Structure 1
Amino acid sequence: MSYLKRIFPLLGMWLCLLVSQGYAEEQGAGASASSASTSSDTTSDLLTAETKPRIFDEGLPRTVRAGQNLQPFGANLFAGNYTSRRANALDPNYQVIAGDKISLRMWGEATANEVLTVDANGNVFVPDVGEIHMVGTRASEVSNKVKAAVGKVYKDGVDVYANLLTASSQEVTVFVTGSVLRPGQYTGLPDDSVLAFLHQAGGVDPRRGSYRQVMVKRGQQRVASVDLYDFVNNGSLPRMLFRNGDTIVVRPQGSMISVEGDTRNNYRFEFLGNSINGAQLIKYARPDSSVTNIAVSGTRDGLPNSSYISYEQFLHTRLYDGDSVRFVSDAPTPVMDISLEGSHLGNSYLAVKRGSRLQEVLDYVSVDPNEADIGNIYIKRKSVALEQKKNIDESLRRLERSVLTAPASSDGEAAIRAKEAELILKFVERASTVRPEGKIVVSDRGKVANIRMEDGDIIVIPPKSDVVMISGEVQVPQSVVYASNATLKDYIAQAGGYTERANEESLMVVKPNGKVIMGRHLQVSAGDQVMVYPRLDTKDMQFTKDLVQIIYQIAVAAKAVGL
């Protein structure tokens, strides 16, 4: 299994690349720096903006859910865990009903320790005192009412304590039916809410049930109607006391409209009646303030219909069952958002005119010339990060296909290929998590290219550094102080020299501006990183070249070279 010994240095290298967070980047994207040097050391005031700086989102696109996958508005009412009130935690406003039990204790001139049951006439009987009418008495007033009745018989010398107990007679059985997930018969307390019983039944069926037409029936009579939209938006929920045999019915789902786009509520909204206008939908959808246009699609007179209208026109547009509405921020904005990182003074966010170039933006950035390395500025760009991620993923897919379809001429070779495949697939799994930074090298030899800026760009001004980092296949990876008369060989020597696995023919130097240079005789400057890669033997492993190519892609694209 000698090929395993040869692959270990390679795997150790990519693990280093995936874990560490040093410098690296786009080696082909470096611009020919033919423009004049930056004037970033000016003391001009920064442009201001109230919005916080955007966070570079690692080059990953965000997707919008398709209309058919949207949840109905209000569906999250039943997404959590409902915990019913414990039976011994009565609402102080609960009213006593026949069958309830009351604990009575008397001591002093007269004694008693009994549990009294409220009879069908609504009374309890206390020896030597008589009947006390209790039905309709609030739980918080039970003790006072019993004390008052006993006090009429025993003027002095008797203390009384009475408490409403819980009992099965306090529970009610309610039927829940219609468009719910688990229709059936459920038990609760009389003052439980409609939501409590619906939750026991699994909630409203999101595909069939109405969130706006829930009724409570007592026999053949409707005693309450509930619109759950009122509860979601305003907290309004009818309160009632349930009785045994009451029925909660969830009506079939009414007309629905799907809402997507630049809005706070991307849901399917139910409406009562045949149609609503755009102004009514906006109250529920709550579009962003940046919305300028609305795309409406649906069916009119049996034929597909779509329109793209302004916000003002939408307010008076009639919407019907099955329509899909997308809110769009379509007005061209005259400014771009640019962020700053690294060694600079003042704000880290700029709002600049669309079409501005790097030199123009840098005129509004103040730096300390003694701290900022203005000759090594670089840019992180989302579009570049997306392209780098795409290229890495494509290379990984090719490698994965190659290893899974590799032929074997014997059982022994098949076993070797199986071990190779196991290691390669682990590598693919880890490497697929790499998030490129999208660096663009815009500086060289102190000159900064005057490239056109894009919305969301991040300008990075590295701090000045007096050290050189050496890592990889050296005896003692470390950072050392830069010396102007030292060569690459000298820095390697300070790190203890090469290991026996080092590839001395191809070294990597990563510049502070992100530029990557490879070779043997390289010039080292302050702030550089020197990376020594292992020497790879390709005789026993046919996929090594592919692995090396991917690892170099990761090193260049994902800021992964470091100690």
Structure 2
Amino acid sequence: MLNCNPFINISSKLLCKVSIFSLLLLTTTANAAFEPSTVDTQVNTADIIPQIESVKPSPDVGSYQTQTRKGVLLPGEVPVSELLPPSGEDNPPPYGANLFAGGYESERVDGLNDNYLIAAGDKINIWIWGAVSYADLATVDNQGNIFIPEIGPINVLNVPASDVNKLVSLKIKEIYTNNVEVYVNLLSATPVSVYLSGAIIRPGQYAGMASDSILYFLKRAGGIDSDRGSYRSIQVIRNNKVVQDIDLYSFIKTGQLPTITFKDKDVILVKPQKSAVNVSGGVKNPFRFELLNKQTSGAELAQYALPLTKVSHVGVYGNRPSGPFSVYLAYEDFLKFEIQDGDSLVFNDDSHAQVIDVQVSGSYLGPSYFAVKKSTRLHDLLNYIPINPELTDYKSIYILRKSVVERQKQILNDSLDRLERSVFTAPAASDGEASIRTQEAALVMQFVEKARKVQPLGKVIVSDQGVTANILLEKGDQIVIPHYTDLINIGGEVLFPQAVVFNPDAKIDDYVAWAGGFTERAEDERISIVRANGQVIFDSNAKIQRGDQILVLPKADTKIIQAIKDITQIIYQIAVAANVAIN
């Protein structure tokens, strides 16, 4: 038996006049509010919303602490196995791979800068005037010296170019103490030839300046091989001895890069990649990270991966000597966990918020957004929303809910899909009938295209005759408290859609007449009335109330379109879901 009484105190006289067809259409809105699991009590709205002077601060409205769980999945929660990348998916790029993305290897430098360190083979101009005159172009020998007659050798190896004039001048003036002026200048820097070997893209011999950085030479060789090369162990070898061991992670994180003056026949050796782990999920750096040792703590890795603040859990999976391994840890426990070579990590936001945001619109005073507990019901929030009773229709509250919008849109799309199938699969017994079906299909497609653009409102009807259902609020709900109005809006298939002042003695036909009367396409026998509380009824004899919207729907021509029943149903669905009428 059909239940026409969703409210405890509502009169059955009004709702039972609504046709069975319209009640089925209202399922997407009204039923969302009146499910047994969401309605526990109904009280008079006048008892819920206080006067302005009675408003008190709410202990239940604001920010609340979230609860944390350690490795326990709640019912319906996604297990870590579903967060893992598909089997066979390529490894993420190594941390630091973008170091070699630029084109700086094509930038030419001559080494003539203040920070350049003098190396063997460099040429230095020397001018002496005054008591002694001398001018020469000296070459730095293999021992790092330049030779000046009467002065002797002066060692300038690894002296910055900005200091060479001061150093040579002091040495000369130790011999010529009076009336001697000296000017020394680095004329040219000597190129060096450096070998690159190991796990790089193009090993071989490359020319550069002695002051060039190790990044320059690595880039000239195509960069480090992503699958084989190490970013944490790059050696500079001179005369078969390691003179520098470089960890590029230090440069990436802090910008610190050792200063090296290269010499001819130096070797840059990229060592094989060390132990590595793959990182994905909620991190700023989703890369493959090398470990200095075969295992490290989660805290050390987190310093490079930089998890997002919302991360609450970390899934770790891989292989251990005992076989496949997988664990799902709270982030605090992960920081102490030992990860090993070959592990893959998924950083996940698995905390369920205990606070939701709710918006209020319409006629009210105070803030429009509230952060409330997840278990908050409508009455709990209404108790702390001040209003002006003379301007507010507080007996017609309704809710706009995102989940209902999605449900209504899906129902509408399903109906349109069925309509399309029925039109395109309709049989034709003759060529004339086939021609008619073709024209009919074109008309239907125009209607479907327009109907798919309609956006449902997602209304949840919670009030009627001053009684409001105490439903559980959802994240993103918009509580609408209508303004008190004396206007009646008439729209749809009327000649002059407009707003008319409410007249208690007027009927629907009177309001339609004031709007210019029906159009030729109007369905004058079934007119929808949208109440201020969001409820939609189809009853031409219903009494008009303040704030109502009269919506005259179009009718489809039964002589032209065979699928008139389906189209009429969709027209009514759109009227209920979006409060609009389309042709």
Select between 41-50 and 201-210 the one with higher mean Cα deviation: 201-210
Of 473, 481, 499, the match for 1:480: 499
Of 28, 31, 40, the match for 2:49: 40
Which digits, 9 at most, give the CA deviation of each residue in 1:224-268, with x for residues without a partner? 54444434443334444567886473744733244546x666555
Q: Which residue of 2 aligns with 1:16?
A: none
What are the residue-to-residue correspondences of 1:287-366 with 2, within 5 Å?
Answer: 294-309=314-329, 313-326=333-346, 335-342=354-361, 343-346=364-367, 348-352=369-373, 354-366=374-386
Q: TM-score, normalised by structure 2?
A: 0.62
Distance 2:564 2:169 in 1: 91
Q: Give the partner amino acid of 1:49.
A: G
Note if 1:427 corresponds to 2:440.
no
User: Bigger relative contact order, structure 1 or 2, given CA contacts below 8 A and separation 6+?
Assistant: 1
Q: Which residue of 2 aligns with 1:379?
A: 399
Q: Which residue of 1 aligns with 2:85?
A: 67
Change (3 A) 1:144 1:286: closer
Residue 443 of structure 1, CA deviation: 1.8
Residue 449 of structure 1, CA deviation: 0.7
Change (3 A) 1:505 1:146: farther
Change (3 A) 1:267 1:503: farther
In 1, are the aligned partners of 2:100 and 2:219 still within 8 Å (CA)? no
Change (3 A) 1:270 1:426: farther
Distance 1:550 1:186 in 2: 74
Which digits, 9 at most, give the CA deviation of each residue in 1:434-471, with x for residues without a partner? 776644221223321111334x2524233516355554
Q: Give the partner amino acid of 1:249.
A: V
Residue 345 of structure 1, CA deviation: 0.9
Residue 318 of structure 1, CA deviation: 3.1
Q: Give the partner amino acid of 1:341.
A: V
Residue 323 of structure 1, CA deviation: 3.4
Change (3 A) 1:88 1:525: farther
Residue 313 of structure 1, CA deviation: 4.9
Note if 1:28 corresponds to 2:41.
no
Q: Which residue of 2 aligns with 1:256?
A: 277
Q: Which residue of 2 aligns with 1:55?
A: none
Note if 1:274 corresponds to 2:315.
no
Which digits, 9 at most, give the CA deviation of each residue in 1:30-58, with x for residues without a partner? 6469432152234122455359xxxxxxx
Q: Give the partner amino acid of 1:375.
A: K
In 1, are the aligned partners of 2:32 and 2:404 still within 8 Å (CA)? no
In 1, are the aligned partners of 2:420 and 2:445 still within 8 Å (CA)? no
Which digits, 9 at most, give the CA deviation of each residue in 1:355-375, with x for residues without a partner? 332212222233333454433
In 2, are the aligned partners of 1:186 and 1:197 still within 8 Å (CA)? yes
Unmatched tracts of structure 1, length 5 or more:
1-23, 52-60, 104-115, 125-131
Residue 275 of structure 1, CA deviation: 2.4
Q: TM-score, normalised by structure 1?
A: 0.64
Q: Which residue of 1 aligns with 2:62?
A: 49
Identity across the alignment (%): 34
Q: Which residue of 2 aligns with 1:448?
A: 468
Change (3 A) 1:65 1:388: farther
In 2, are the aligned partners of 1:372 and 1:461 still within 8 Å (CA)? no
Change (3 A) 1:236 1:356: same
Q: What secondary structure does 2:381 align onto?
A: helix
In 1, are the aligned partners of 2:29 and 2:458 still within 8 Å (CA)? no
Residue 307 of structure 1, CA deviation: 3.7
In 2, are the aligned partners of 1:67 and 1:260 still within 8 Å (CA)? no
Of 518, 527, 536, the match for 2:556: 536
Q: Give the partner amino acid of 2:380.
A: E
Q: Which residue of 2 aligns with 1:458?
A: 477
Change (3 A) 1:163 1:405: farther
Q: Give the partner amino acid of 2:394.
A: I
Q: Give the partner amino acid of 1:443.
A: S
Note if 1:77 corresponds to 2:89.
no
Distance 1:460 1:208 in 2: 59
Distance 1:243 1:404 in 2: 80
Change (3 A) 1:202 1:179: closer
Q: What secondary structure does 1:28 align onto?
A: helix
In 1, are the aligned partners of 2:192 and 2:207 still within 8 Å (CA)? yes
Change (3 A) 1:45 1:299: same
In 1, are the aligned partners of 2:97 and 2:226 still within 8 Å (CA)? no
In 1, are the aligned partners of 2:200 and 2:222 still within 8 Å (CA)? no
In 1, are the aligned partners of 2:28 and 2:407 still within 8 Å (CA)? no
Select between 511-520 and 397-406 the one with higher mean Cα deviation: 397-406
Which digits, 9 at most, give the CA deviation of each residue in 1:156-209, with x for residues without a partner? 9xxx999989x9x879888587365x8888887765655566667776666665
Unmatched tracts of structure 2, length 5 or more:
1-25, 65-77, 126-136, 147-153
Which digits, 9 at most, give the CA deviation of each residue in 1:348-394, with x for residues without a partner? 22333x53322122222333334544333333445444544554565
Q: What secondary structure does 1:375 align onto?
A: coil
What are the residue-to-residue correspondences of 1:402-413 with 2, within 5 Å?
Answer: none
Q: What secondary structure does 2:449 align onto?
A: helix
Q: Which residue of 2 aligns with 1:112?
A: none
Distance 2:250 2:342 in 1: 23
In 1, are the aligned partners of 2:493 and 2:552 still within 8 Å (CA)? yes
